[in-house]
Amino acid sequence: MRFTKFGLALLIGALSLGVVFGVTSCVESYTVGFLYVTGTATLSTGNYGFISGYKIDHNTGKLAPVNGLPISSEGANPVRAVLTSSSRFLYVLNRGVDAEGNGDCTTDDPCTGSTITQFIVGGNGILTYQNTFYTQGINPFRLIGDPTGNYLLALDHDSPSSAACQAALGASVTSCGDITVFQINQNTGRLSVIQDAAVTAANCPSALLPCPLTYFPVPANPVDFLLSGGYILTLTAANPQASFPYSGGGIVWPYAYSSTSGQLTLSANSAQQLSDPYTASGLVGEGNAIVSGSGVVYVLDNEPATIPSCPTTTCNFNPGTYSSHILPFTVGTGGALQSETSGIVPDDPSLSNPIQLLVESKGKYLYLANDGSNVAGIYPASNIAAYVIQTSPYELSFVLGEPFGSGSAPQCIVEDPSNQFIYEANEGDSTITGRILDPLSGELDGMRVTSTYPLPGPPTWCLMDGRTG
């Protein structure tokens, strides 16, 4: 068959358009990962919470619901979720409810029905409930997984035994929290409790039965905990905290962590009261989170600090009184925290109540989600502060144009696996908010598609699955 020049040109044009449309279609349908969000809406009997899931379009950041989700969290009041490193199993910590059916839960009016529920992650991000497990303590509220994917650790606000507190922490200790360590079966995902090798039948106090301990006592009034540099760092408060969410943290207790056995051993350095020369007391007194990113540990302190000047010549914040701030540290010998030379860093002056922090994958920018002040259900100043990270020496300075918008009262902040988008789940308006991350400036821009997505109820946590589809 022979073609005229005109016919040949038409054929080549048609083929070219076919290639272009084919490539475009492939790009637009590509899922770079999955975003999961837990929350407290009632989806089934028993006042159970929910798990929502979304596919992330790598070209636009648009979210599309995973087929079959949301589903029940199979427990009341879910507050944390962990995805194992193999992306095969998802675990949800459900705090339960107190005697009045609320999620506040105090030492005197503890949660009942606290569980850890296991889900299998299937193709296309589908979740299927498998099993329910239980922490060994009372009022659990934090859950983390170790990098090996072999262990899961839950922080309980209250230990079930004062005798266990005395045996592990000293004769004068009458109350404490605890960490329950679970080993993860790599084939089934089932959890089995790790026993504390330091308190065995041979040295078990007569008042403490049974032995050995099935949990690891930690000092009273825990606020948060973190695994960093081979240590479990537990942030505690000097005074008892009324109810969840806990705050008032200012003391860090380091525990050496064995990634081969799951054992925790209290470091010889013992307690470390964090100092802050710019607060009224000279100490950290309202810490509400301890988090890490790119090898740096950060304590979020939700109390006023008067900063007289920038500690270096290149930082770009003004001297003055700020409602909240960040303290950056490195982990030293024995798990002791060593202050970075830049010292404390202020939160954006228009924001308050920092709740979660994210260092993006390349270690260039830090984003700080601010919950805002909760007064009679009102959430003002709910936005994202943003910082440029400078190394050698370490320093944080504000990104030009921050703060960036979020929904009302963000509870978590995550980066998508392709390192293009930032998402927050917002308690105040039950939404997910997405923004584009500018890799050259660190600015968070509005998406070219829908940036806000509704949730079935107030969210409590979010996490990313880096699988593609």
pLDDT in tens, 270-310: 899 999 999 999 999 999 999 999 899 999 999 999 998 88
Average pLDDT, integer, range 198-205? 72
pLDDT band for position 204 (50/70/90)? confident
Reported pTM: 0.91
**276 C-beta neighbours (distance < 10 Å), count:** 22
Burial of 280 (0-12, 13-18, 19+ CB in 10 A): exposed
How far apart, in whole angstroms, are the C-alpha atoms of residue 328 and residue 230? 18
pLDDT band for position 25 (50/70/90)? very low
User: Which range among 9-18, 135-144, 262-271, 404-413 has the greatest average pLDDT?
Assistant: 135-144
Residue 135 has pLDDT above 80, yes or no: yes
pLDDT at position 225: 98
Q: Which residue has the tokens 């009302």?
A: 408
Q: Any idea what DSSP says for residue 329? A: E
* Cβ–Cβ < 8 Å for 175, 159: yes
What domains does the chain contain, in order, with CATH numbers?
352-469 (2.130.10.10)
Residue 1 has pLDDT above 60, yes or no: no
Average pLDDT, integer, range 123-131? 95
pLDDT at position 120: 97
Average pLDDT, integer, range 230-257? 93
Indicate the range of 88-97, 238-247, 283-292 predicted with least confidence: 238-247
**H or E, element range at 124:** none
Residue 313 has pLDDT above 90, yes or no: no
Q: What percent of the chain shows pLDDT beyond 70?
A: 88
pLDDT at position 29: 64
pLDDT at position 46: 58
* Residue from 229, 235, 132 nearest 177 by CA: 235
Instruction: Please give the residue that has the higher pLDDT: either 450 or 282.
Output: 282
Residue 374 has pLDDT above 50, yes or no: no
pLDDT band for position 6 (50/70/90)? very low
For residue range 54-82, what is the model confidence (pLDDT) as tens digits?
999 989 999 999 999 999 999 999 999 99
pLDDT at position 21: 41
**60 C-beta neighbours (distance < 10 Å), count:** 17
